[in-house]
């Protein structure tokens, strides 16, 4: 077996993604390889999206997702858009169905280059998110950081979009908060037995939010698609917005907003946004040793 596979460095709204082609192989990208790749400036990433041969009839691929610390992720919306763009450039197709550990994802690339991903249905039950304590209403739970009488962050909305999320509502720009300091404390809080993605969300209108996310297993990230979905759903669920919102990701260098539609007819959450190909190369999925291609292939951008 060839020791190397092809991969592409891509980004979804600034979210750093490595799309690794594991089709035709039985092995996987190892946690050690992920950690080694993240240690290199050229390949530092938020998620690896490893494309495997389909395991279910009717699907196009199984997607294995790894965080930059080598841990497994259940969902990555921005990464899924990158996979769609890579496969669309390869095959000319526009619609795909993927299997992940979080379930089945349907996705489509539009004529304008934007990509929609059906992220499935949100989960609100405390034991399914999961939380360590029972809460009847997970739209607002008792959790805060800072002084008891003047907390810096408090009363998040919590839910799962295939992975656990806590949305803290703030009344000013999320960039004003020291999320690099608070993020690790909240991600690893005993309330979250499987850890959690931590998002600060500011409501800027009845149809728009501004967000910033500390991502479970990846840290401070430029963007997080599942967190954007969780923020939009939580805003609608708590009466802050309607069911369709635009998300201005405060930390992203890409100013194209995400559009999140929590569909009323089937409760599915559909995220639409951009993906960008940067460069390609080859990598050993066991060790993470990589080589950048001398001449990047032409790709749709």
Confidence of residue 1 (pLDDT cuts 50, 70, 90): low
Mean pLDDT, residues 258-271 taken together: 97
Mark 69-106 as b/e (b = at least 16 C-beta within 10 Å). Answer: ebeebbbbbbbbbbbbbbbbbeeeeeebebbbebeebb
Single out the residue of 92, 137, 108 nearest to residue 239, CA to CA: 137
How much of the chain, in percent, has pLDDT values that exceed 90? 85
pLDDT score of 2: 76
pLDDT score of 301: 39
pLDDT score of 250: 85
Active site residue 82: no
Class of CATH domain 5-120+276-292: alpha beta
pLDDT score of 74: 84
pLDDT at 138 over 80: yes
Burial class (CB in 10 A: 0-12, 13-18, 19+), 230: buried
List every span in the chain annotated with CATH 3.10.310.10: 5-120+276-292, 144-267
pLDDT at 256 over 90: no
pLDDT score of 295: 66
Confidence of residue 300 (pLDDT cuts 50, 70, 90): very low
pLDDT at 102 over 60: yes
Among candidate residues 196, 224, 259, 271, the one labeled active-site is 224
Q: Could you report the per-residue pLDDT of 75-94, keeping only the tens digit for each? A: 889 999 999 999 999 999 99
Class of CATH domain 144-267: alpha beta
pLDDT score of 233: 98
Among candidate residues 75, 76, 131, 258, the one labeled active-site is 76
Q: Could you report the per-residue pLDDT of 10-41, keeping only the tens digit for each? A: 999 888 999 999 999 999 999 999 999 999 99
pLDDT score of 257: 87
Active site residue 224: yes
Q: Could you report the per-residue pLDDT of 169-178, keeping only the tens digit for each? A: 999 999 999 9
- Count CB atoms within 10 A of the CB of residue 140: 15
């Amino acid at each position: 077996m060839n020791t190397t596979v092809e991969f592409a460095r891509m980004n979804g709204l600034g979210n750093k993604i490595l799309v690794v082609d594991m089709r035709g192989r039985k092995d996987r990208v190892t946690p050690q390889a992920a950690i080694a790749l993240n240690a290199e400036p050229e390949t530092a990433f938020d998620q690896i999206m490893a494309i495997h041969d389909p395991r279910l009839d009717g699907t196009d691929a199984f997607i294995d997702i790894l965080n930059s610390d080598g841990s497994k992720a259940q969902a990555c919306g921005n990464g899924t858009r990158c996979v769609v763009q890579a496969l669309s450039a390869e095959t000319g197709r526009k619609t795909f169905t993927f299997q992940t550990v979080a379930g089945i994802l349907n996705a489509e690339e539009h004529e304008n280059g934007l990509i929609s991903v059906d992220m499935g249905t949100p989960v609100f039950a405390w034991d399914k998110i999961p939380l360590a304590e029972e809460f009847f209403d997970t739209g607002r739970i008792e959790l805060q950081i800072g002084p008891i009488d003047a907390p810096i962050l408090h009363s998040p909305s919590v839910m799962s979009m295939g992975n656990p999320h806590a949305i803290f509502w703030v009344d000013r720009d999320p960039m004003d908060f020291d999320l690099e300091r608070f993020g690790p404390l909240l991600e690893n809080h005993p309330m979250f037995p499987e850890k959690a993605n931590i998002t600060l969300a500011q409501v800027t209108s009845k149809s728009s939010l501004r967000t910033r996310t500390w991502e479970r297993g990846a840290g401070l990230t430029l963007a997080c698609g599942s967190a954007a979905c969780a923020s939009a759903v939580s805003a609608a669920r708590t009466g802050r917005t309607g069911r369709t919102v635009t998300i201005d990701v405060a930390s992203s260098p890409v100013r194209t907003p995400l559009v999140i539609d929590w569909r009323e007819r089937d409760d599915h959450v559909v995220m639409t946004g951009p993906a960008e190909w940067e460069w390609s190369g080859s990598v050993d999925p066991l060790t993470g040793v990589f080589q950048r291609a001398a001449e990047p292939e032409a790709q749709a951008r």
